[in-house]
Amino acid sequence: MVGLEEVLEYEQPTKYIVESVNYSDNFKTPVLTAGKTFLLGYTDETDGIMCVDKLPVIIFDDFTTAIKFVDFPFKVKSSAMKILHTNRKKADPKYLFEVIKTIEFRHDDHKRYWISEFSKIKIPLPSLVIQKQLIAETEKEEEIINSNKKLIEIMEQKIEKVISEI
């Protein structure tokens, strides 16, 4: 077991915050939040974009403890998050993301949680080889689930069509 702070380093998002909220689907760079909305829009700003060589990262909402896995360049709207970088000699970023998603954590108070509490949580950390195997198996299962969802949707559409023709 290791503390999250032993395998994740946080970065304040200040240099990635958008200057303008003039978003448009015609622009290129996504503006993110760690909350439910995730994608707020797109900006045409070219400075302060999270660069590809630092990816993937986990964005952590410091007040709600919501997380998102991000593997593309982006900017952010708010400083109320931490950008978490993985120590890749010890852990796989996707593995850490999946493990963090399973953590049950009470966040009743309106305060920042990463430094004071969340980063101290201990998680299981098998070898990198096992982490990568677990992620590969999980991704295969997700593909099967998504394929089945598509099949269900197609079948529902066919049933609706048959019913409407009756």
pLDDT score, position 36: 83
Q: What is the mean pLDDT of residues 100-127?
A: 89
79 in the same domain as 6: yes
In this predicted model, what pLDDT tens digit does every residue of 44-67 receive, in sequence order? 999 999 999 999 999 999 888 999
Nearest to 23 by CA among 45, 46, 43, 48: 43
pLDDT score, position 109: 79
Mean pLDDT of the chain: 93
Instruction: Tell me the torsion sign for CA atoms 70, 75, 78, 84.
Output: positive
Q: What is the mean pLDDT of residues 83-102?
A: 96
70 in the same domain as 150: no
pLDDT at 100 over 90: yes
pLDDT score, position 87: 94
111 in the same domain as 80: yes
pLDDT score, position 136: 95
102 in the same domain as 116: yes
User: Number of structural domains, the chain?
Assistant: 2
154 in the same domain as 106: no
Boundary-marking domain end, from 108, 125, 142: 125
Q: Collapsing DSSP states into helix, strand and coil, what is residue 32?
A: strand
Note the Cα 128 to chain centre separation in Å: 20
pLDDT at 107 over 80: no
Q: Do 18 and 76 meet the contact criterion of CB atoms below 8 Å apart?
A: yes
Please give the helix or strand (H or E) that residue 122 lies within, else none: strand 122-123
Domain enclosing residue 136, as ranges: 126-166
Q: Where are the beta strands (DSSP E) in 62-110?
A: 67-70, 75-76, 81-86
Phi-psi sector, 76: left (phi>0), alpha (psi -120 to 50), beta:
beta
pTM value is 0.85
Phi-psi sector, 117: left (phi>0), alpha (psi -120 to 50), beta:
alpha
